[in-house]
């Protein structure tokens, strides 16, 4: 097995371990919620592009961010029902926006930031959109 394959397995094992130890603490009907929070915690732990620029780790973080973004509509609805507005920051959107920006895919990063803003997730999305737009215009 290659080093990249082993590293990806290690990250997947970390997710499985984190999720399995906390699964019992979540009600059965809230499994999507537990996946959402698992993604958030693992992104917090593993997404450090300056410290760990390993492409395998970044690919793992991208997959986690996509998973969390996919669960975001459900989580937003649940959050608003239980706690009311405003919505907190969403680490999946933040990570995806950052990953795309580092890959110089500024148009995609702006689209992600606009989606987060439109969904009502907390954060400085207006400033992010303005900064990315300005950077994109400089490149042209």
Tell me the residue range of the domain where 113 lies.
3-139
Question: For the residues 40-68, what does the mean pLDDT come to?
Answer: 87
101 Rama sector, left if φ>0, alpha if ψ -120 to 50, beta otherwise: alpha
Closest CA to 71 of 36, 39, 31: 36
CB 39 within 8 A of CB 68: yes
The answer to whether residue 97 scores a pLDDT higher than 70 is yes
> Is 0.75 surpassed by the pTM of this model?
yes
The answer to whether residue 2 scores a pLDDT higher than 50 is no
CB 81 within 8 A of CB 69: no
Report the C-alpha gap between 56 and 5 in whole angstroms.
Answer: 8
User: How many structural domains does the chain have?
Assistant: 1
With a CB cutoff of 8 Å and minimum separation 6, the contacts of 45 are: 14
The whole-angstrom distance between residue 139's C-alpha and the CA centroid of its chain comes to 26
Return the pLDDT at 48.
84
Report the C-alpha gap between 124 and 56 in whole angstroms.
Answer: 28
Least confident segment among 48-52, 102-106, 110-114, 118-122: 48-52
The answer to whether residue 129 scores a pLDDT higher than 80 is yes
Least confident segment among 49-63, 95-109, 126-140: 49-63
Return the pLDDT at 49.
77
In this structure, the chain runs to a length of 140
């Amino acid at each position: 097995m290659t080093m990249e394959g082993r590293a990806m397995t290690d990250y997947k094992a970390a997710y499985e371990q984190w999720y399995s130890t906390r699964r019992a603490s979540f009600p059965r009907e809230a499994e999507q919620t537990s996946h959402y929070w698992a993604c958030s915690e693992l992104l917090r732990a593993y997404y450090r592009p300056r410290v760990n620029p390993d492409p395998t780790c970044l690919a793992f973080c991208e997959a986690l961010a996509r998973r969390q973004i996919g669960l975001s509509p459900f989580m937003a609805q649940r959050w608003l029902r239980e706690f009311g507005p405003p919505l907190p920051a969403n680490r999946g959107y933040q990570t995806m926006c950052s990953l795309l920006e580092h890959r110089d895919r500024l148009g995609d990063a702006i689209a992600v930031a606009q989606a987060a803003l439109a969904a009502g997730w907390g954060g400085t999305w207006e400033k992010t959109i303005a900064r990315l737009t300005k950077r994109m215009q400089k490149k042209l």
